[in-house]
Amino acid sequence: MLLAWYLKKEWIDRTEDIEAVHVHYTCTPLDQAPDWQRPHQRWPMPASGALLKGHLRGDPDGPPAQQPEDSVRQHVLKLPLQVWDAPHEQWTAHYLLHYYYEVFQAGQCRATEVFCDEIVYRDLEYIDWEGRLSGVSTYWSVSDWGAPVWMPAEDVRFREVFGAQHERCAAQFYHFADKPRFAVEKWNLMKQLPLPWRWTARIYAPKGTVVRQRWHTGNLSPSMHWEDWDPHPPGDFVHFL
C-alpha cells in the first residue's frame, strides 16, 4: 500500500564556505507546534542537486527534471498521506510540514528559522463511460517533475462492494508480479459495478503551489494500446492547490 508522497526542497549556497547542509523536517496537525526534541527526519542535502530519495517508478517518456547548478542543493522529502490528530482522535490529510536547515559553514554550525508549509490535497476523478479500463493511476509532481509520484486510482464502490483489503485493490497493482493477470481479474470484478466507472485518486501539495499531473490507464480492448497516457507527454494537466 502506498504510504507516502514526495516533495523536493532546495537550498542555495550564497557563499563559497558552506561545507554541508542538512534538512530537518516533521509533520503535525494544523493546530500543533513541532517538538524538535522528539525523533524527526534529518537528511543531508548534497551539492550539485543529487536527489537522495528514490521515486516509486520512473517515466522514461516524461520530461526530465531540470538539473540545478553546483550552488543548489536538493533533497526529496518523503511525506505521509495522513497524520494522526490526537486531540480529535482521527487521521487527517490536511496538515503542517515544519522544516529548517542545519548549515555547516566555515567550521561553524547554525540552524535557520523554522519554515512551515500547509499541506492540502485534492481528489481527482477519471470517468470511464464504456467500461474499457482495467486500471488507472495518476502520475504527478509538485511544481516540476523533480519528485514524481505514482498514485493508484480506485472507484470508491470497489472498496464498498469487495472490501478495502481485497487482493485486487488498486494499491496492490505495483506489488503484483503478473500485471496482465491482475488487469484481467480486476476488469472482471469491475464489470460487476454499474457504469460509468469513476476512478479517483488524491494529489497533495503545499498550499499555493502547482501540481503537474497525467493519467496512466490500462485497458483490455484489442483496438487500444494495453496502456496509455492522458494527456500524452509532454502535455500535463495543471492544478493550483
Instruction: Give residue-wise pLDDT tens across range 105-128.
Output: 999 999 999 999 999 999 999 999
Q: Which of 120, 151, 178 is the last residue of a domain?
A: 120
What is the mean predicted confidence (pLDDT) over 8-31? 94
Residue that terminates a domain, selected from 96, 120, 144:
120
Task: State the Cα–Cα distance between residues 170 and 168, nearest whole angstrom.
Answer: 6
Instruction: Using the 3D structure, point to which of 86, 120, 154 is the last residue of a domain.
Output: 120
Q: Do residues 75 and 164 share a domain?
A: no
Element (H, E) at 78: strand 72-80
In terms of Cβ atoms closer than 10 Å to its own Cβ (0-12, 13-18, 19+), residue 122 is: middle
Do 49 and 129 lie in one domain? The reply is no
Confidence of residue 1 (pLDDT cuts 50, 70, 90): very low
- State whether 162 and 138 are in the same domain: yes
Same-domain status, 115 and 163: no
Sort strands 18-28 and 95-105 into parallel, antiparallel or unpaired.
antiparallel
pLDDT surpassing 60 at residue 49: no
> In this predicted structure, what is the pLDDT of residue 53?
46
Integer Cα distance of 99 and 36 in angstroms:
10
pLDDT at residue 94, as a whole number: 98
- Which three cell numbers mark 160? 464498498
Confidence grade of residue 3 (pLDDT, cut at 50, 70, 90): confident
Shared domain check, 126 and 103? no
Based on the fold, state whether residues 132 and 222 are members of the same structural domain. yes
Across residues 49-67, what is the average pLDDT?
Answer: 46
**Quick one: 34 and 89 in the same domain?**
yes
Q: Give the mean pLDDT of the chain.
A: 88
Shared-domain flag, residues 141 and 105: no
Does residue 9 sit in the same domain as residue 89? yes
Query: What's residue 51's pLDDT?
Result: 52
Give the model's pLDDT for residue 127: 96
Residue 9 to residues 57, 86, 89, 142, 230, Cα–Cα distance (Å): 20, 28, 31, 11, 28
What pLDDT shows up at residue 225?
58
- Is residue 70's pLDDT more than 80? no
Q: In the chain, what percentage of residues exceed pLDDT 70?
A: 88
Same domain, yes or no: 64 and 89: yes
| pLDDT (tens digit per residue) in 156-174 | 999 999 998 899 998 888 7
Q: Are residues 107 and 125 in the same domain?
A: no
Q: Identify the pLDDT of residue 57.
A: 37
- Asked if the model's pLDDT at residue 58 lies above 50, the reply is no
- CATH code (residue 95): 2.60.40
Stretch 84-103: mean pLDDT: 96
Positive or negative torsion for Cα 82, 214, 54, 42: negative
pLDDT of 228 reads: 85
- 209 and 139 belong to one structural domain: yes
Number of domains comprising the chain: 2
- The domain containing residue 125 runs over which residues? 121-240
